[in-house]
């Protein structure tokens, strides 16, 4: 796992086999679902209260921009698209537009 903040890394990389389902960390609205040269196939999810999460390098997304999703819903599948060196989920968390350590959201650390 690549940690948040290492060499300017803006998220956490979680290795997983290609095609592993990626689940939404929280309920919200999909702001972005599609291609980015750096992130590859990505989803950006907003909870409507200042928290947003980005899921990147997917083989494919499973949601569309504007769609409402619930926590635990499949939003895409692990891959290695964009600026990536192997299959993994790149996971970012922003609170009020400020990036924070994703492990703090997931594990409360």
| Residue 15, domain CATH | 2.70.70.10
Decide if 102 is inside a domain: no
Mean pLDDT of 4-30: 86
Mean pLDDT of 19-29: 98
pLDDT digits over 37-95, tens only?
999 999 999 999 999 999 999 999 999 999 999 999 999 999 999 999 999 999 999 99
> What integer pLDDT is reported at residue 102 of this predicted model?
83
Structural domain that includes position 22: 10-96
pLDDT of residue 3: 54
- At residue 69, the pLDDT reads 99
Query: In this model, does residue 4 exceed pLDDT 60?
Result: no
Query: Number of folded domains in the chain?
Result: 1
pLDDT at 1: 47
- What is the 3 state secondary structure string of the chain? CECCCHHHCCCEEEECCCCCEEECCCCEEEEEEEEECCCEEEEEEECCCCEEEEEEEEEEECCCCCCEECCCCEEEEEECCCCCCCCEEEEEEEECCEEECHHHHHHCC
Please report whether residue 103 resides in a domain. Answer: no
* Mean pLDDT of the 90-106 span: 86
2 domain-assigned: no
Q: What integer pLDDT is reported at residue 7 of this predicted model?
A: 53
In a domain, 28, yes or no: yes
Residue 84: inside a domain: yes
Structure token digits, residue 17: 């086999």
């Amino acid at each position: 796992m690549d940690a948040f903040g290492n060499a300017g890394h803006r998220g956490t990389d979680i290795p997983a086999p290609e095609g592993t389902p990626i689940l939404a960390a929280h309920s919200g609205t999909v702001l972005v679902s599609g291609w980015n040269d750096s992130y590859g196939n990505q989803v950006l999810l907003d909870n409507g209260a200042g928290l947003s999460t980005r899921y990147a390098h997917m083989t494919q997304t499973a949601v569309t921009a504007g769609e409402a999703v619930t926590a635990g819903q499949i939003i895409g599948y692990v891959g290695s698209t964009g600026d990536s060196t192997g299959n993994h989920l790149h996971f970012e968390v922003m609170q009020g537009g400020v990036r924070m350590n994703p492990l703090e959201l997931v594990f409360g650390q």
